[in-house]
């Protein structure tokens, strides 16, 4: 259930249809979230442009600009005429690059004061000490808030495919190594719809965190994951030390909940349906 007045009500509140819609640029439009945001904006009949370092993913039904936020190559042309940006580009393998890329993006948006919608990660403050990527995400939020460009900061919890990826990595033969954690896995399609609504509305500063409908501990996350795969494994609980202890400190958030549950997403994924909810 949507707790933020979703669907048409949300779109009206966000301003869709009240005035000429801005051209919305989606950075990282070839990535998991970026693609879904492009789809959500397209479904709202918004004007959309995707930005990525590579060629447009196939199929891609919007305008596409090749640009690198880190070097600035192609960026001026990509932001030309843009009224809002949903910033989905990120490189967790090189976290500090995200800071430099954000600086370039803010500088490119400043002359026209385009609305910057930034995607943060929910509940990570207490875990950030052990993860550079989390520290960078929080620093990026501070940069956005102090940038002088109109902004909306939307934090989301862990996306379903990301939780799935973690469990795959922790799965070794008949063993499933699992750290203690409680997550609120969220549907990418639900997050994307929220981001699209915000991009088409006025800047709002920090808005309620977007999260999935359930908070699931390690036992439930792994049990549902194994059930969907018709597998059984020997669960090995990893000791809560170092980065694993930090994972356990990811905080539960109470904000804008909705989208498919973890088990619904697992069932859809197992049956080959779209991993995004429409």
Ligand X SMILES: NC(=O)c1ccc[n+]([C@@H]2O[C@H](COP(=O)([O-])OP(=O)(O)OC[C@H]3O[C@@H](n4cnc5c(N)ncnc54)[C@H](OP(=O)(O)O)[C@@H]3O)[C@@H](O)[C@H]2O)c1
Q: Is 220 in the site for ligand X (CB under 6 A)?
A: no
Contact flag: residue 101 with ligand X (CB under 6 A): yes
According to the binding rule CB under 6 A, does residue 30 interact with ligand X? Answer: yes
Distance of CA 88 to the CA centre of its chain: 7
Under the criterion CB under 6 A, does residue 138 sit at the interface with ligand X? Answer: no
Work out how close the CB of 177 gets to ligand X at its nearest, in angstroms, rounded to a whole number: 20
Contact flag: residue 212 with ligand X (CB under 6 A): no
The reply to whether 31 sits near ligand X by the rule CB under 6 A is yes
Q: What is the 3-state secondary structure (H, E, C) of 11-49?
A: HHHHCCCCCCCCEEEEECCCCHHHHHHHHHHHHCCCEEE
Q: x/- string (CB under 6 A) for ligand X, residues 104-123?
A: ---------------x-x--
**Contacts of residue 166, Cβ cutoff 8 Å, sequence gap at least 6:** none
| 269 is a site residue for ligand X (CB under 6 A) | no
Only one of the segments 143-151, 154-162, 237-245, 250-258 lies at the binding site for ligand X (rule: CB under 6 A); that segment is 154-162
Nearest by Cα to 137 from 148, 150, 153, 149: 153
Q: Which stretch binds ligand X (CB under 6 A): 18-26, 151-159, 175-183, 239-247?
A: 151-159
Considering only 32, 220, 240, 261, the residue that binds ligand X (CB under 6 A) is: 32
Rounded Cα distance, 207 and 273, in Å = 31
Widest Cα–Cα separation across the chain: 57
54 makes contact with ligand X (CB under 6 A): yes
Beta strands in the chain (DSSP E): 23-27, 47-52, 63-66, 84-87, 115-121, 151-156, 171-172, 175-178, 182-183, 205-206, 210-211, 216-217, 234-237, 256-257
Q: How far apart are CA 221 and CA 151, in angstroms?
A: 34
Nearest to ligand X by Cβ — which residue? Answer: 31
Beta bridge partners of 85: 25, 116
Q: Which of 2, 63, 91, 139 binds ligand X (CB under 6 A)?
A: 91
Residue with tokens 């800071």: 99
Helices then strands, each counted (H, E), the chain: 10, 14
Contact code string over 155-194 relative to ligand X, x by CB under 6 A: -x-xx--x--------------------------------
Instruction: Of 7, 1, 3, give the one whose Cα is nearest residue 196.
Output: 7
255 binds ligand X per the rule CB under 6 A:
no
Number of amino acids touching ligand X (CB under 6 A)? 25
Our finding on whether 38 is near ligand X (CB under 6 A) is no
Choice from 33, 79, 178, 247 touching ligand X (CB under 6 A): 33
Q: Per-residue contact track with ligand X, 59 to 78, x per CB under 6 A?
A: ---------xxx--------
What phi and psi values does residue 265 have, to the nearest 5 degrees?
Answer: -65, -40
**Which CB, 14 or 37, lies closer to ligand X?**
37
By CB under 6 A, name the binding residues for ligand X. 27-28, 30-34, 52-54, 68-70, 88-91, 101, 119, 121, 137, 156, 158-159, 162
């Amino acid at each position: 259930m949507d707790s933020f007045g979703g669907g048409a009500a949300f779109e009206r509140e966000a301003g869709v249809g009240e005035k000429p819609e801005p051209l919305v640029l989606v950075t990282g439009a070839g990535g998991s979230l970026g693609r879904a945001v492009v789809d959500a904006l397209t479904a709202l009949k918004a004007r959309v442009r995707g930005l990525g370092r590579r060629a447009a993913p196939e199929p891609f039904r919007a305008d596409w600009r090749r640009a690198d936020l880190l070097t600035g190559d192609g960026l001026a042309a990509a932001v030309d005429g843009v009224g809002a940006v949903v910033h989905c580009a990120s490189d967790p393998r090189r976290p500090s690059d995200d800071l430099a890329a954000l600086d370039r993006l803010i500088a490119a948006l400043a002359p026209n004061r385009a609305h910057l919608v930034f995607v943060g990660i929910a509940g990570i403050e207490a875990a950030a000490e052990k993860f550079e990527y989390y520290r960078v995400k929080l620093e990026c939020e501070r940069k956005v808030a102090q940038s002088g460009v109109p902004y909306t900061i939307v934090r989301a919890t862990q996306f379903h495919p990301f939780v799935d990826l973690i469990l795959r990595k922790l799965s070794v033969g008949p063993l499933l190594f699992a750290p203690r954690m409680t997550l609120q896995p969220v549907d990418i399609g639900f997050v994307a719809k929220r981001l699209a609504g915000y991009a088409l509305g006025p800047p709002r500063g920090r808005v309620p965190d977007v999260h999935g409908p359930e908070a699931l501990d390690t036992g439930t996350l792994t049990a549902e994951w194994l059930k969907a795969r018709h597998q059984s494994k020997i669960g090995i609980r990893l000791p809560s030390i170092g980065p694993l202890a930090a994972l356990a400190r990811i905080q539960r958030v109470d904000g804008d909940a909705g989208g498919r549950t973890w088990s619904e997403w697992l069932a859809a994924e197992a049956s080959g349906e779209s991993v995004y909810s429409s």
